[in-house]
Structure 1
Amino acid sequence: MFHSGELAIQHAVGVREVAAANSKLIWPSIPDRVTPFVAAQSYCVAGGTSVYGDIWAEFIVGTAGFATVVRDGTSLTLPLGPGGLPERQFDLGPGKHIGLLFIDFATRKRLRVNGHIAAMSGQELTLSVDQAYPNCPKYIQARRLTTTHAPTEPNRVETGTTLPAYAWDWISRADMFFVASTAADGSADVSHRGGNPGFIRTQGQALIIPDYHGNSMFSTLGNFLLHPGAGLVFVDFETNRMLQLTGDVELDLNAKGDMPSSVGTGRWWTFRPRKYVVSSVGSSVSAEFIDASPFNPAVSATSVK
């Protein structure tokens, strides 16, 4: 059920029994009772690897039902291109791995679906489900998203290797982002990370990110242990833009020094971006902020650059 990286982190932290109990929520297919949740979503986050081996995460906006689960839940179909899985960022083809995160910000519900591409035809691909599981609602800031699909300005893409000042400001104000990671066999996973604005420290050209208490399975950190790379995506709903980063990861499971004590776990990971992309989310989206997660740890003044 768990790969060697996940098991190593679970043992190091001392939560093996908790993780084993929570593993009962990992399904080999998407249950019938969960299918309506997927069908109701008009956005998700995808993660995978490019043809150059870089890991990327991307926020995708479509229409409700753009992801279709087959009757037995063993696979789902996704459109390619606008309103679906972007072909420019990922290495797509039979056998390639893709991680998906379906999330409803308003209800704080989320479902991770990890799998590999079984077939591609025309403007659609079929993803064979390897595992699917729900996550708890912790650290998700509640928002009500509305997709208008109104015409947007041409997608001006900015790329580079050194983040501009405005990107660092964007990160320092963020109360959420998404992270894609991969295991040794290439299987991909996408997870949500959230907290009060300022929960991400910036130091030089690095992001220092706390690991809050979660489900104890350590899917993301376990992947980092085997493959220390990641793809991050930050979404700005006010400007309908996203900031994507790909880079390298260093884990610290027993942080000391001036790390804020409010984090509680003592676990942090450092992310050093190698490339970035700023682009439109591809569709006009508005987001009404409802409230912050009651689980968010306080952020000390020293945690912001």
Structure 2
Amino acid sequence: MAAYHPGTRAVQDRVGVRELADHVGRSIGTDIREVAAAFLTRQPFLVIGAADPEGLVWASVVDGAPGFLRAVGPRRMGVAGRVPDGDPLAGALTVPGLPVGTIVLDPRTRRRMRLNGTLAAPAPGGFAVRAEQVFANCPKYLQKRQPLDAVEEGRGGVRHGGALAPGQIRAIRAADTFFIATTAEDGVDAGHRGGNPGFVQVRSAHELAWPDYPGNGMFLTLGNLAADPRAGLLFPDWETGAVLQLSGRARTEFGTDGQRTVVFTVESVVESLRAGRLRWSAPEYSPANPPVHRGSTTR
């Protein structure tokens, strides 16, 4: 998997950061180095992105006790866990060779790493990912949280829909973090977006928008969207362990003032009321978060 494809190059050129992207892109490797392997073993959750059999792109979460993630050799990550029952990727994540993108984030330290590749043959109680891209990201826009006591998984249900319900709209407006899965011809990527509550605008029950804050200049997410508009969003409820998953299509609007806005059209909604085992403290917001300019309401 090349570091950049024509979609990412097009966005880099439009913004004028190709030279910076070339420099930062040298950090993308294929091996899970020792420091990355040690980081994996300390983390209690993984976000994974992929397309389901119908072609919808989703982001899902897998959690477990620290140690459930581990490097199995220099180019394979073992995951001793699965997505919950009812998750839209439950079936897809049993298919060897499936392109996937993953991100592992530590809210305690604001550290994160991404590992993109393909599924290896599934193993009992889990799966493995063959690494094609491995790299770390900066701590910008990451809210710091501390883990609370884990609990047993609840037995809440799963709600499906084609548009956002009022309670889901309220949750999105209150969110300070979400994860996004995107795809292009050469693979899948999973990324993180963060900001102060309100940074994600709900324009209607079918449309969201958020600012694309300055980052590392690689534009992996926006580049994938330039090549393929399909995307999946995951909004975690850090207090209850529930998750809200959206699948749809996204586009980037480039303003004349250099600002960029991503507009997401909702096509499918899955809300898991099953409380996962993880609970986290209230956030300490990132000092990098820009102020939120409120004023967009649901139409």
TM-score bucket of the superposed structures, by smaller chain? over 0.9
For 2:282 and 2:184, the matched residues in 1 are separated by 34
The answer (yes or no) to whether the contact 1:61–1:83 under 8 Å persists in 2 is: no
Residue of 280, 284, 293 corresponding to 1:300: 293
For 1:284 and 1:121, the matched residues in 2 are separated by 22
For 2:54 and 2:160, the matched residues in 1 are separated by 16
Alignment of 1:47-86 (within 5 A): 47-71=49-73, 73-81=74-82
**Quick one: which amino acid aligns to residue 251 of structure 1?**
T
Change (3 A) 1:80 1:141: closer
**Quick one: which amino acid aligns to residue 49 of structure 1?**
A
1:288 is paired with a residue whose SS is coil
Residue of 95, 100, 103 corresponding to 1:101: 103
For 2:200 and 2:275, the matched residues in 1 are separated by 26
For 2:90 and 2:265, the matched residues in 1 are separated by 23
For 2:263 and 2:101, the matched residues in 1 are separated by 22
For 1:285 and 1:107, the matched residues in 2 are separated by 17
Alignment match, 2:211: 210
Using the aligned pairs only, state the percent identity.
33
For 1:39 and 1:221, the matched residues in 2 are separated by 30
Q: State the Cα RMSD in Å.
A: 2.0
Alignment match, 1:173: 174
Change (3 A) 1:124 1:2: same
Alignment of 1:1-305 (within 5 A): 1-71=3-73, 73-81=74-82, 88=90, 90-146=92-148, 148=150, 150-185=151-186, 187-204=187-204, 205-254=206-255, 265-280=258-273, 283-303=276-296, 305=298
Q: How many residues align?
A: 294
The C-alpha deviation readout for 1:16-38, integer Å capped at 9, x for no partner, is 01111101110111112221001
| Consecutive unaligned residues in structure 2, runs of 5 or more | none
Deviation at 1:254, TM superposition (A): 2.1
Change (3 A) 1:177 1:107: same
For 1:208 and 1:62, the matched residues in 2 are separated by 32
Change (3 A) 1:251 1:303: same
Deviation at 1:147, TM superposition (A): 5.1
The answer (yes or no) to whether the contact 1:113–1:132 under 8 Å persists in 2 is: yes
Change (3 A) 1:303 1:295: farther
For 1:152 and 1:77, the matched residues in 2 are separated by 22
Deviation at 1:80, TM superposition (A): 4.5
| Consecutive unaligned residues in structure 1, runs of 5 or more | 257-264
The C-alpha deviation readout for 1:10-69, integer Å capped at 9, x for no partner, is 000000011111011101111122210011111111111101100000122111111120
Structure 1, 219-228 or 235-244: larger mean CA deviation: 235-244
For 2:285 and 2:256, the matched residues in 1 are separated by 26
Taking structure 2 as the reference length, the TM-score comes to: 0.92
Structure 1, 205-214 or 139-148: larger mean CA deviation: 139-148
**Quick one: which amino acid aligns to residue 184 of structure 1?**
E
Moved over 6 A (4+): none
The answer (yes or no) to whether the contact 1:56–1:89 under 8 Å persists in 2 is: no
Change (3 A) 1:2 1:36: same
Change (3 A) 1:275 1:121: same
